[in-house]
Structure 1
Amino acid sequence: MEDTPQIAQMQTYLFPFLASAIFLLLHLIVYRGLFYQLSNLKIIRNFLKLFTFLNFCGTVAYMFLRQFPLVPQWLYLLISISIGVVFSLFVSTIIYQFLNIFIHFITSKNKRTAYRNYLQRIVIVLSMIYIGYGIYNGESNPILKKISIPLANLSSPLKIVQLSDTHIGGLIEESRVKKMVELVNDQDPDLIVLTGDIVDTKLKNVLKAVDELKNLKATYGVYYVLGNHEYLHDIYNIIQKMKDLGFHVLINQNSLISKNGIPLINIAGNADLMGNRMGYLQPNIDKTFEGIQSNIPTILLSHQPKIIEKIKDKPVDIILSGHTHGGQIFPFSLAVLLQQPFLMGLHKIENDRFLYINQGTGFWGPPMRVGSHSEITLINLFPKP
């Protein structure tokens, strides 16, 4: 077993402090911008102060406990929800302050105060509905998303199941992984691909959950590539575990799949772009495609969709990615588009290639989703007429 690289340890320990400072700022904005003038009653003011303080404590606890399974699952659920609560209330605060601009044009002071109070109450109620729906949707089982893609030079149909961003650890534990595996096996796939962020904690914390993955069954096996979150933990142990489970681990490599001795399709996989930032296990696109057979289709497994910027001259027919979580919680999905070319789904890009982005089979942070769904993707490839 190898130790976590030092730079990953530094980032892991530094991140909670930086995140806590950001969460403190968000809570102050929510309290002053939305709660402060909600009521003159002392009991309500004190309740709002206590709520803000406790929610802030929850966010800090999550940041520091996410690496260590020290609390019961129900408590971990509550503190993880606190992150979604403050993000949602922050957005509500921005909306309230924007609408409040128009109230300033009302000439009567009494009417301004009354309208402001009505607006605050409406915004807070809508926020609670938004949070409730997000938790319900986030806790729901993954949907089975089915797509079909025609491929030139494909000799026979191929059924692929894609899992991505399961983020095993914390709330994604053994029973959840078992359900995912059962749903995948029900599809009787030819091939299973895992496109990164499968494990999101130290391996020793989630051995039982990860072991559930060994029950994945596919005719041509299971193929795995790294996501950015694996770099933040004991990445070499995670890689070795995937190999021990019998998976084909692709780190700047490609593999040929044959049917009855006849080449059927290439599967290529690169190390994640996070490797460039961390300084180890860096992506090498040339090496990824080295020696690949060009007369049959090629599928590239790459965690981040923006890899499309780096493979324009490479023989790729389909790119399968994850990473974005479909934005997970709207409107924060808009921020994802500042870094990635698309949020989710199937896209036809230049040179007649297809890019498919899985929305994530699990979630990160709060068990909430608005505007997205946890998904398992069933991809049917068929010969192009």
Structure 2
Amino acid sequence: MSLGITLTAFGGLHAYIAVRLFVDPQWPAPWSVLGPVLVALLFVSLPVGMFMSRREPTPVTRALQWIAFIWLGAFGIFLSAVVAADLISLVLQGAGVVHDALALARGKAVAVLAVTLPAVVYAFVTARGRARVERVTVPVAGLGAGLHGLKVVQISDIHIGPTLDGRWLRRVVEQVNALKPDIVAVTGDLVDGDVESLRDEVKPLAELRAALGVFYVTGNHEYYHGGPAWAAEVARLRLTVLQNEHRVVERDGARLTVAGVTDYNAGNIHPAHASRPDVALAGAPDGVPRLLLAHQPRTALSVAHAGVPVDLQLSGHTHGGQVFPFMFFVKLQQPVISGLATIAGVRVYTHRGTGYWGPPLRLGPAPEIAELTLVTVE
């Protein structure tokens, strides 16, 4: 879809919101004028903010980016509320419950604003707050007694960039380290920017601590900003980068294969980085349970197609939908939205994301740090 078509569509939807909230209710001046003007300015903020993201950061450009990102998410919430209010009003009018069209229009506008404004504030506080620790116990067949109770802590979709920085990342690292993990898994979409711009912001990753290792795989967003360069930078921070490869960890005589693949779509940008579960697990020891790190849940389909056994896949990418109502559209691209599920015979844990992409808002799915405890099957 071209930029012109996208802006035209967004402009039309903004006009729809302005009409329903400020024109139809026939508010007295100055609200009847200020309301539509405000909606128009918020629409303009979207292309302006995106353009400013390519300029040298200054207090002005950062402020414009923040406004654009917040409105990008708030727009979806407002639009959903206005559509819902219109549908409800049609039902009420059709049933003959309401006869005063002006009173209905004003009541509808007040109801939309009363619901959406607090929702946007709540979504902002949730997105910027501390990640929720989700604790899940996963039975694994063949897991040796020495690894019973193995604690894997997963973070994903961190998206260090325009509105998330190194101070925020350090708080996440402190939360992870406080859980005393045996393994830390970082499952992609670490950044929204290139290495040169964000090198200092991702430094706290070097402070992650885990008894058996800290492992990282790329997400699709790394490949928008130089995937191979980011893999090298993360390796420089002394994380183990798994690019279609595996390692075997051991404790008290029990072993676990930890494998990782590049992002599902990486091969479209860097053919040499095509995601290959079969290559990642080639030569892995037989009879040893297998943990696979793969950014997108649908990698499980590739795993099943390749016929390579995997006991548990850790993924992210979906953000759990991030902002209502977008979680209902995730299923158009991914087989699962969040949580533990089985996809084509492969058990997959899909992480809701520790950070956020774009809008600093989370309405519904809270940010997550997953603590997965692997236990032997009785």
TM-score, normalised relative to structure 1? 0.89
1:188 maps to 2:177 = no
2:10 pairs, out of 23, 27, 31, with 23
For 1:366 and 1:120, locate their aligned partners in 2 and report how far apart those are by CA, in whole Å.
Answer: 24
Matched, 1:145 2:134: yes
Alignment partner of 1:203 is 2:189:
no
2:30 matched to 1:61? no
Give the one of 254, 262, 266 matched to 2:257.
266
Select 1:342's aligned residue among 328, 336, 344. Answer: 336
SS at match of 1:42: coil
CA shift, 1:29, in A, is 2.7
User: In 2, distance between residues paired with 1:90 and 1:25?
Assistant: 11
Does 1:321 pair with 2:315?
Answer: yes
Q: Matched residue pairs, number?
A: 370
Whole-Å separation in 2 of the counterparts to 1:361 and 1:30 = 32
Q: Give the one of 83, 87, 94 matched to 1:98.
A: 87
Q: How does 1:276-295 map to 2 (within 5 A)?
A: 276-278=267-269, 280=271, 281-295=273-287
Post-superposition offset of 1:200: 1.3
> Please, which runs of 5 or more residues in structure 1 have no aligned partner?
1-13
Measure the CA separation in 2 of the matches of 1:117 and 1:134: 26
Could you say if the C-alpha distance between residues 17 and 373 of structure 1 is closer, same or farther in structure 2, counting changes exceeding 3 Å?
Answer: farther
CA RMSD between the two structures:
2.3
TM-score normalised by length of structure 2:
0.90
3-state DSSP class of the match of 1:228?
coil
Q: CA deviation at 1:201?
A: 1.0
Deviation for aligned residue 1:375: 0.8
* Structure 1 residue corresponding to 2:170, chosen from 144, 160, 178: 178
Aligned mate of 2:220, from 212, 225, 228? 228
Structure 1 residues 334-371: Cα deviation after superposition (integer angstroms, max 9, x where no partner): 001121111111224564x4311111000011111111
Aligned partners of 2:167 and 2:326: how far apart in 1?
Answer: 29
Identify the residue that residue 358 of structure 2 maps to in structure 1.
365
Return the letter of the residue paired with 1:236. Answer: P
Which of 240-249 and 91-100 deviates more?
Answer: 91-100
**Contact (CA 8 Å) 2:92, 2:98: kept in 1 or not?**
no
Residue segments in structure 2 that go unaligned for 5+ positions in a row:
none
Tell me if the contact between 1:326 and 1:343 (Cα under 8 Å) persists in the aligned partners. Answer: yes
Identity of aligned residues (%): 28
Greater mean deviation of Cα atoms: 102-111 or 228-237:
102-111
Match of 2:67 in 1: 78
- SS of residue in 2 equivalent to 1:305: coil
Q: Is the 8 A contact 2:278 2:303 kept in 1?
A: no
Q: Whole-Å Cα distance in 1 between the matches of residues 99 and 93 of structure 2?
A: 12
1:305-320 correspondence to structure 2 within 5 Å: 305-312=297-304, 313-320=307-314
CA contact 1:69–1:170 (8 Å) conserved in 2: no
Deviation at 1:39, TM superposition (A): 2.2
Q: 1:105 to 1:165 in 2, by over 3 A?
A: same
- 2:245 counterpart of 1:256: no
Question: Is residue 293 of structure 2 the alignment partner of residue 304 of structure 1?
Answer: no
